[in-house]
Amino acid sequence: MIFKGRIIKVFRAKAILKAMVVRKFKAKYSGAIFGLWWAVATPLILAFSINIIFTHVFKVEIPSFTLFVLSGIIPWLFFANTVTEVTNSFAADSAILKQGIFPREFTPASCVFANSLSFIIGIIFLLPLFLIANPQAIKVLPILVLIFILHLVFLLGLGMIFSALNAFSNDLMHFLSVGLMLWFWITPVFYSLQMLKFPYRWICLFNPLTYYVMLYRQILYDGSVPSLQLILLSSLISIIFFVGGYWFFIKREPALFKKI
């Protein structure tokens, strides 16, 4: 019942959420000369850099390795950028939060949705690269919408947790910069699970982001339909994080209000 009441409240104030998302999206690229092109340039630069190191130095033999890395970099950047911004969201919106004119979950949620717009724009411009290399991928692109929704729901739940925790202790922001570097290396962005031996593979398997990266890669790079098992597992992870994150946020909200 507590979730039902909150969802009704959120639905009634959806116009405010939309305005917050647009404001944060515009602010993200305000003053940037290249503007939205950074959503395309950033993953390309990272993918090419990793490609040079691993193909010329470490001699990794994976066909179209740049696209292989790019298929993992795109969801990773969506995750990393969102987590970084959402963790500090209450500090950034403290002035308007004190007015109490909208549900407080709009603060982390607007960060997630604003970053999702950047992700969508970036992936639209990068899709032709994958389709040129593997035209077969066009047949499974509709599944990409489902994967994006699952990824988005996961980030909404995680954002609720991180934003609430950081409101009580700014130490989380300092840990996050180090934590994301570690998280990157245990996420199969520039390698596949098949390249890892046990017990190292278990480290990646306990990383929830692994499953979303695998889904994006199977569609964009392999051009194949992900297994039902992988989709169901990712759906379960998304639901657990969203429900758990929202529940945690609601429980901490009374104390959170005193901190703002």
- In the prediction, which pLDDT does 95 show? 63
* CB 93, CB 107: distance < 8 Å: yes
Yes or no: say if 158 and 239 are a contact pair by the CB < 8 Å rule: no
Q: What pLDDT does 174 receive?
A: 77
Segments making up each domain of the chain, as ranges:
2-259
Give start and end residues of each alpha helix (H) in 13-64.
14-29, 38-52
For residue 125, which of 218, 43, 47 has the smallest C-alpha distance? 43
pLDDT value at position 58? Answer: 61
Residue 106 and residue 237: Cα distance in Å, rounded?
22
CA–CA dist 3, 70 (Å, integer): 37
What is the pTM for the complete model shown? 0.89
d(CA 66, CA 34): 23
| Per-residue tens of pLDDT for the chain, all 260 residues | 566 777 777 788 888 889 889 888 888 776 655 556 667 777 877 777 877 777 766 667 778 888 999 999 999 999 999 999 999 887 766 666 666 667 888 889 999 999 999 899 889 888 988 998 899 899 999 999 999 999 999 999 999 999 888 877 766 777 888 899 999 999 999 898 888 888 889 999 999 999 999 999 999 999 999 999 999 999 999 999 999 999 999 888 777 666 55
Q: What is the number of alpha carbons within 13 Å of residue 195 lying toward its C-beta?
A: 10
Give the whole-angstrom CA distance, residue 187 versus residue 79. Answer: 11
Residue 199's pLDDT is: 83
What is the predicted pLDDT for the residue at 98? 63
Q: Which residue has the tokens 């308007």?
A: 96
Please report the pLDDT score of residue 259 as a whole number.
Answer: 59
**Longest alpha-carbon distance in the chain:** 57
Q: What angle do CA 168, 173, 178 make, to 5 degrees?
A: 140
